[in-house]
Amino acid sequence: MNTIDPSVPGRFSRRGFLGLGAAVGGGMLLSACGGGSASGGGSLKFWDMPWGQSNYTAAAKKLTEGYRPAGDLPRATYQGIQWANFSQTFSSAIASKTGPAVSTGGGFQAFQFAEQGAIAYADGVINQFRQDGTADDFLPGQLDAMKTANGYAAVPWQLDFRVWWYRKSLLDAAGVKVPATWDELLTACRTLSGRGLFGFGTGAGAGNNLGSQGLHLMMLNNGGGLFDPDGKVDVVTEANLEAMRFVQELVRAKAVDPASISYTTDNLITQWKNKKVAMGIHTAGLDTDTGETDGDLRVMGPLTGPGGAKAGLVFQNNIMMYANTPSQEGSEAFLSYYIRNMKTFWQQNVVAGLPVLKSIVALPEFQAQQQKAKIIAEWAPVARTFAANSKSLFGGLASVDSSQPITQFAQTVLAGKDPRPALTTLQQALEAIVK
């Protein structure tokens, strides 16, 4: 099942979830939140996840209830859906036609439901955005990532990055410059380990996906990834082997805490707070998660891999529409309204994710968050999706992200074991998951 995003309690970013298709296809109907069919007249049901603390939910509810539709189009109602068991909540509600007309949710959720025929494609909304210029406000590539062979599965609204961070005071004290290449990273890690500091802060314990995501980022940084351009599992490649052998070098250099394979997200944050970690891969909100405001925690620029490539890892959270709706025109109008007015979340600083719109990036409230602004400026242009070499996202990703094989792979590699058998085992496991 999916796990909590590496951040403080209450700050979540779910990309996908397991078993959704099986729950629907197998007829396993669990009790869903809310009652009554989405097509049963009345208002549009908008289901939203807790993308921040309670102040986010209050802001999202206010934005939803502030929607004033044109003519006789339906109004919208807001319902918060908790991350706990959310996959069952959605699958049950959609199977029984009691689900929402529009929702946020897991980042791969729209693609999985689209393959089941439950999604109303967003082509109408995006075409309108192109006509009125709104499409030009999206950061490059964000809309394209939502496109499938049958249409746009959803509309992106916020981004969840994995990037390199460092603690300036520790690097300064060790006389280490901020790495820009893999070779410089290894050299820095050797120096830092001599001072009892870890240069590849990570964790692969219960509920902590940073270990696997960090390894995935290293693969991407070397031109590799988990999938080929056709979306087929392609794990045992020279690019991935080279990347994981480099991680093996980091382990030998004592850059990785031996206990990290069991670290939860809280354990890892504690290590950052206690200044045992000097560098590591984390979410865009590490400084917020640790509660630090003095600027000692800083984002690196994207590292240059052995082949000259730069890469980041990004998950695109999106808003989707469903085929079961009291009014498709109404769903499209509400979604358009929401995207055009969602800047309020960043003006109030109530959402953990980073914006997809250039106009929101330019807001003084966002630019004041210097590390997040740097991520958009330097990491967004080189960031790649979880699908890696595949040009589009697909439903099978929901069964891969945060899966047990991914976690086991991370634990094996971070323990310093030979990466080839680990990659081979992962290949076989993912082939069994992704049909």
Closest CA to 109 of 124, 128, 94: 94
The reported pTM is: 0.88
Q: What is the mean pLDDT of the chain?
A: 89
Q: Give yes or no for residue 36 having a pLDDT over 80.
A: no
pLDDT at 158 over 50: yes
Q: Give residue limits of the domains in the chain.
A: 44-159+315-382, 162-313+391-433
Q: Other CB atoms closer than 10 Å to residue 27's CB: what's the count?
A: 7
The beta strands (E) that lie in 89-213 are given as 102-103, 119-120, 147-148, 151-152, 155-167
In Å, what is the CA distance from 158 to each residue of 48, 51, 317, 361, 388? 13, 10, 5, 11, 19
Can you give the pLDDT at residue 42? Answer: 76
Residue 139 in tokens: 């950061």
> 127-139, pLDDT tens digit by residue?
999 999 999 999 9
For residue 21, is pLDDT > 50?
Answer: no
Q: For residues 157 and 173, give the distance between their C-alpha atoms in angstroms, rounded to a whole number.
A: 40
The count of residues in the chain is 435
> Rounded to whole angstroms, how far apart are CA atoms 269 and 36?
43
What CATH architecture does domain 162-313+391-433 belong to? 3-Layer(aba) Sandwich (3.40)
What's the pLDDT score for residue 303?
98
CATH number for the domain whose boundaries are 44-159+315-382: 3.40.190.10
Is 44-159+315-382's fold the same as 162-313+391-433's? yes
Residue for token digits 């031996």?
Answer: 258
State residue 327's pLDDT score: 97
In this prediction, residue 435 has a pLDDT band, given cuts at 50, 70 and 90, of confident
pLDDT digits (tens, 9 = 90+) for 144-157: 999 999 999 999 99
In tens, the pLDDT along 341-400 reads 999 999 999 998 999 999 999 999 999 999 999 999 999 999 998 888 887 788 888 778
